[in-house]
């Protein structure tokens, strides 16, 4: 099979397309469970090379699956139909950081945290902060429209994408958007590309919006005797006019796992972590105000001011994933999202599912956005097509949809949620997706086998 890509390899610099088994294996999966070996992996360094690769594959109808850091949670970069994996990790240059325009121009393979650090050195701020930021790429973040804890105040990746250079399925290079912070010229094609999961085009350059770096931070951690109290706390904070940059919640199972890994982890049945950023006086006032409100209902409250002590509180939150991993169980991480007023209903739903199916479930996440990571802790050896897990997920997703929620708030649909695509989205809306896909990639070369 790989013979059909050999002529392409000969047209490009030596080593740009690799066929060796170790490279194929290293590019066969992401952070989810599915894997598939491609026939070859390309590592272009320029847009012209990406264009040449796509034009070649388009003519011969060879599937192309684009790949960034390979840290997606839905199998989006898995080449389920074989063909070529197009890895953008060698296009990793930050081309420009402009303080006067408040923009950064970057290649797609730049690692998110590297961009955030580079702009912070110039007192600028790139807010999107998926927890994978040390490994995922800007291109992958754009293709999945990644979110993170800061979305409550700052929004998702889409809110920071001003312009895109995109190579279309047939190799045509187009530029959507601009470097201005506002642009009402034509349809929002930058928005169309953002979150398109590698199915409509390949992002080869992005112009991103930057903000001034907030000079100060403060945070608090509050422990509660029940998740109900913690969920009430979320409403009280926002209802009192405070807008934290992060507002995280965790349930009993998560905290118990955290305590097994670290005896100093919080003791309550549930917790909130609340963070503020802005001027020094502002974050102090916010911290005092919210502490006053929560003291009435929480069991214990710890406050922090300054980057270092805030980071210490966040270490507790970051420790959750590791603590769950240490249970030895297989973590099926879902990213369901409900309207904020239904967060407690979501916790009740997961408690019911836990009891009925006798499966441990850890739920924690971005309470301010109603986006809760519901982690089914499946028995060792569970595979992604396990019928029991499918039934449990089916119940979870059905419940979320009846709350006017969505089956994915961050990770996307990809392969993992493909079985639920038709249930989660109306027929007419699916038809619009299909028509857009046909208009931009009628031959179905880009990332075939996923949800469209």
Ligand X SMILES: Cc1cc2nc3c(=O)[nH]c(=O)nc-3n(C[C@H](O)[C@H](O)[C@H](O)COP(=O)(O)OP(=O)(O)OC[C@H]3O[C@@H](n4cnc5c(N)ncnc54)[C@H](O)[C@@H]3O)c2cc1C
- CA distances 416 to 156, 323, 382, Å, are 21, 24, 14
As a whole number of angstroms, the distance between CA 247 and CA 230 comes to 11
As a whole number of angstroms, the distance between CA 372 and CA 259 comes to 21
Using CB under 6 A as the binding criterion, the count of chain residues that bind ligand X stands at 36
Q: Which of 401, 412, 312, 385 is CA-nearest to residue 349? A: 401
Query: DSSP readout, 24-86?
Result: HHHTSB-SSS-B---SEEE---SHHHHHHHHHHHHHHT--EEEESSS--SS-TT--TT-SEEE
As a whole number of angstroms, the distance between CA 273 and CA 220 comes to 6
Q: Which is nearer to ligand X, 286 or 437 (CB)?
A: 437
Restricted to residues 169-228, the positions that interact with ligand X (CB under 6 A) are 197-198, 202-203
Tally of residues, the chain: 452
Residue keyed to tokens 């002529």: 7
248 counts as binding ligand X under rule CB under 6 A: no
254 counts as binding ligand X under rule CB under 6 A: no
Out of 43, 56, 73, 276, the residue judged to bind ligand X by CB under 6 A: 73
Out of 28, 136, 254, 362, the residue judged to bind ligand X by CB under 6 A: 136
- As measured in angstroms, the least distance from the Cβ of 166 to ligand X is 8
Out of 52, 58, 67, 150, the residue judged to bind ligand X by CB under 6 A: 67
Alpha helices in 86-163 (DSSP H): 112-120, 138-144, 151-154
Contacts of 56 (CB under 8 A, 6+ apart): 7, 8, 11, 62, 171
Out of 18, 71, 150, 217, the residue judged to bind ligand X by CB under 6 A: 71
- As measured in angstroms, the least distance from the Cβ of 187 to ligand X is 19
Q: Give me the 387-426 binding string for ligand X, x by CB under 6 A, dash otherwise.
A: -----------------------xx--x------------
As a whole number of angstroms, the distance between CA 100 and CA 55 comes to 38
Q: Which of 36, 16, 133 is CA-nearest to residue 77? A: 36
Q: Which is nearer to ligand X, 129 or 251 (CB)?
A: 129
- As measured in angstroms, the least distance from the Cβ of 375 to ligand X is 12
As a whole number of angstroms, the distance between CA 213 and CA 277 comes to 9
| Number of other residues whose CB lies within 10 A of the CB of residue 29 | 18
As a whole number of angstroms, the distance between CA 323 and CA 251 comes to 13
Sign of CA dihedral 423, 429, 432, 436: negative
270 counts as binding ligand X under rule CB under 6 A: no
163 counts as binding ligand X under rule CB under 6 A: no
- As measured in angstroms, the least distance from the Cβ of 26 to ligand X is 12
Q: Give me the 17-46 binding string for ligand X, x by CB under 6 A, dash otherwise.
A: -------------xx---------------
Q: Which is nearer to ligand X, 192 or 280 (CB)?
A: 192
Taking CB atoms, the residue at the shortest distance from ligand X is 140
Out of 27, 49, 144, 218, the residue judged to bind ligand X by CB under 6 A: 144
153 counts as binding ligand X under rule CB under 6 A: no
63 counts as binding ligand X under rule CB under 6 A: no
- As measured in angstroms, the least distance from the Cβ of 100 to ligand X is 27
- As measured in angstroms, the least distance from the Cβ of 49 to ligand X is 13
Q: Which is nearer to ligand X, 157 or 350 (CB)?
A: 157
Diameter over CA atoms, the chain: 71
Restricted to residues 98-127, the positions that interact with ligand X (CB under 6 A) are 108
Chain residues binding ligand X by CB under 6 A are: 30-31, 65-73, 76-77, 88, 108, 130-132, 136-137, 139-141, 143-144, 146-148, 197-198, 202-203, 410-411, 414, 447
């Amino acid at each position: 099979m790989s013979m059909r890509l050999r002529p392409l390899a000969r047209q490009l610099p030596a080593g740009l397309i690799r066929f060796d088994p170790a490279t194929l294996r290293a590019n066969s999966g992401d952070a989810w469970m599915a894997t598939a070996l491609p026939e070859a992996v390309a590592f272009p360094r320029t847009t012209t090379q990406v264009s040449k690769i796509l034009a070649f594959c388009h003519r011969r109808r060879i599937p192309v699956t684009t790949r960034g850091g390979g840290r997606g949670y839905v199998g989006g970069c898995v080449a389920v139909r074989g063909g070529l994996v197009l890895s953008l990790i060698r296009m990793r240059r930050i081309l420009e950081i402009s303080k006067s325009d408040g923009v950064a121009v970057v290649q797609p393979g730049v690692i998110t945290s590297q961009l955030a650090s580079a702009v912070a050195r110039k007192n600028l701020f790139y807010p999107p902060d998926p927890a994978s930021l040390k490994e995922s790429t800007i291109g992958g973040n754009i293709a999945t429209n990644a979110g993170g804890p800061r979305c409550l105040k700052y929004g998702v990746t889409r809110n920071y994408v001003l312009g895109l250079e995109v190579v279309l399925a047939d190799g045509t290079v187009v530029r959507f958007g601009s470097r201005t912070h506002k642009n009402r010229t034509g349809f929002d094609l930058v928005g169309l590309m953002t979150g398109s999961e590698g199915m409509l085009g390949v992002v080869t350059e992005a112009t991103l919006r930057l903000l001034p770096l907030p000079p100060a931070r403060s945070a608090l951690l509050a422990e509660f005797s029940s998740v109900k109290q913690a969920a009430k706390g979320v409403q009280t904070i926002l209802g009192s006019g405070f807008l934290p940059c992060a507002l995280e919640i965790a349930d009993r199972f998560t905290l118990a796992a955290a305590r097994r890994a670290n005896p100093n982890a919080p003791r309550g049945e549930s917790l909130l972590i609340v963070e503020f950023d802005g001027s020094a006086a502002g974050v102090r006032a916010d911290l005092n105000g919210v502490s006053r409100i929560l003291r009435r209902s929480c069991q214990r409250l710890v406050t922090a001011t300054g980057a270092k002590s805030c980071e210490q509180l966040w270490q507790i939150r970051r420790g959750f994933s590791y603590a769950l991993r240490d249970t030895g169980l297989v973590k099926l991480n879902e990213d369901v999202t409900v309207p904020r007023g239904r967060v407690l209903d979501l916790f009740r739903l997961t408690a019911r599912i836990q009891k009925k199916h006798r499966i441990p479930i850890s739920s924690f996440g971005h309470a301010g956005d109603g986006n809760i990571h519901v982690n089914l802790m499946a028995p060792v050896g569970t595979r992604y097509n396990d019928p029991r897990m499918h039934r449990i997920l089916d119940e979870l997703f059905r419940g979320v949809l009846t709350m006017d929620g969505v089956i994915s708030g961050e990770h996307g649909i990809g392969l993992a949620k493909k079985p639920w695509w038709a249930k989660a989205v109306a027929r007419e809306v699916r038809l619009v997706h299909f028509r857009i896909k046909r208009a931009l990639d009628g031959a179905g070369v880009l990332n075939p086998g996923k949800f469209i």
